[in-house]
Structure 1
Amino acid sequence: MYHNIAEVPEGINVYRSLYVSPGAFARQMVLLRMLGYRGVSMSDAMPYLQGGKEGKIVVITLDDGYVDNLEWAMATLRRYGFTATCYAVSGYLGQYNAWDDEKVGVRKPLMSAEELRAWHAGGMEVGAHSRTHVRLSQCSDQQQREEIHGCKAELEDRLGLGITQFCYPYGDYDERAVHATREAGYVAATTTDRGRATGGVSTDLWRLPRIQVARHHLLPQVAAKVLTRYEDKRT
């Protein structure tokens, strides 16, 4: 789980961990390659998660749809033959992180519809991250439907792509949100619950855990997160 692939802007004192520098990101992708892993998008990972295929894969996800993902992450991913899923907030395409810009102290540019199409044209996947980046457990049933179903409809309409993957904003979800996600036609959804997803019939595809990679994580830590039960013990 990544967010920004960029240097930390001056003046940011909170959420600095959400930034991973382009150099660090590139070294992490090299590490995965050296360890024998292939980085894949959520859709590319589905045969493995559903238990029909085996192999050494790491699913690479980026939340919110920042422009820096296109500017810095995509070239590195393509260099190593990797794919990734970027979860976009449909109500803010081409705008900025209106849900937390005041708290963070900076307006971070979000990809426009044209830029998301360029991301997809580069071999990457666009997923859904709600319409306005809300805490779904705090929404009414109707609001949840608008955020979850509406995001899929808006992205598909504006991008001309099928959207099959969802990510709960803030990792916040309840049973109603899970039901709405399945009802909307998404085939899987990711959380911020810590852990490594395992494939097979027992896998809950709408509550998939993830491993956060933050600014302060060194390569040995990233390796430990991928190779060992370091993250699994924290679920």
Structure 2
Amino acid sequence: MNIPILMYHQIDLPPARGTPLRGLVVSPGSFARQMSFLKYLGYQGMSMRDLEPYLKGARQRRVVGITFDDGYQNNVRNALPILKKHGFTATCYAVSNMIGGVNSWDRDIGVEQKPLMTTQDWRTWLQAGMDVGSHTRTHADLTQLKSPDAFDQIAESKQELENSLGCEVRHFCYPYGRFDSTHRQMAQQAGYITATTTQRGRVQSGDDPYTLPRILVARAAHLGLFAVKIMTGYDSRRDK
């Protein structure tokens, strides 16, 4: 097994040069070309839910996971039509207490505040065959919390999303990529099937399902680099 799981954040027009975290905003045109390229290469883009049997080794196919962190409204506006065009699915990790709000966790570092998906946006996402994962209740840095509070962020976000959206939430993502072995155990205890990180690399046979690596797709990634990231161990080498 050798499965790339792509990590996106926003699909929108990038902000002005010098804006913090500008690299995490991929233009709709770039995203469209990347998805077309995956289709051309024979990959099937899949949500974490649809990827489950491939992660377990029960099925074999040229597949790639597609994930979005935070739940920006521009994901449903700009990414969803492109995903549907190619017959792909994707998982978007929601911050359960901030549905319909903005990315206020980034305010102090000067990141532009953008609208997050509303409840209706999430229903549109689900009705299109997409998947919802959890990204805690408030986009919390778990490593800065006491254990009971960290578990509340992990477990209650699952319940809140399931109650508000009427769907099963099986997958989790650590905010900021920050976690330790205790948080890994909490994710498993809360009933998630997988948890994704910001560690770079493709999923290999035997990888812990609660510390899955991903491949960051940044604003500046041209198609050549995108292909290298998908088809080689480029990201694994960069993380060493």
TM over 0.5: yes
Question: Could you tell me how far apart the structure 1 residues matched to 2:65 and 2:109 are?
Answer: 30
State the 1:12 CA deviation: 6.0
Say which of 206, 227, 231 aligns to 2:231: 227
State the 1:203 CA deviation: 2.4
State the 1:138 CA deviation: 1.6
The runs of 5 or more residues in structure 1 that have no matched partner are none
Deviations 1:148-199 (A, max 9, x none): 001001101111111000000000111111011000000001000000012x
Classify 1:105/1:49 alpha carbon distance in 2 versus 1 (closer, same or farther; 3 Å). Answer: closer
For 1:205-220, list aligned pairs within 5 A. 205-220=209-224
State the 1:114 CA deviation: 1.6
Paired amino acid for 1:36: G
Question: Could you tell me how far apart the structure 1 residues matched to 2:17 and 2:138 are?
Answer: 25
TM-score, structure 1 as length reference: 0.96
TM-score, structure 2 as length reference: 0.94
Paired amino acid for 1:211: I
State the 1:11 CA deviation: 7.3
Aligned length: 233
3-state secondary structure, aligned to 1:87? strand
Match of residue 66 from structure 2: 60
Moved more, 173-182 or 11-20: 11-20
Would the aligned equivalents of 1:15 and 1:104 in 2 still touch at CA under 8 Å?
no
3-state secondary structure, aligned to 2:104? coil
For 1:33-182, list aligned pairs within 5 A. 33-182=39-188
Instruction: Report % sequence identity.
Output: 45
Would the aligned equivalents of 1:99 and 1:133 in 2 still touch at CA under 8 Å?
yes
State the 1:9 CA deviation: 3.2
Would the aligned equivalents of 2:201 and 2:213 in 1 still touch at CA under 8 Å?
yes
Question: Could you tell me how far apart the structure 1 residues matched to 2:140 and 2:216 are?
Answer: 20
State the 1:72 CA deviation: 0.4
Which has a greater percent of strand? Answer: 2
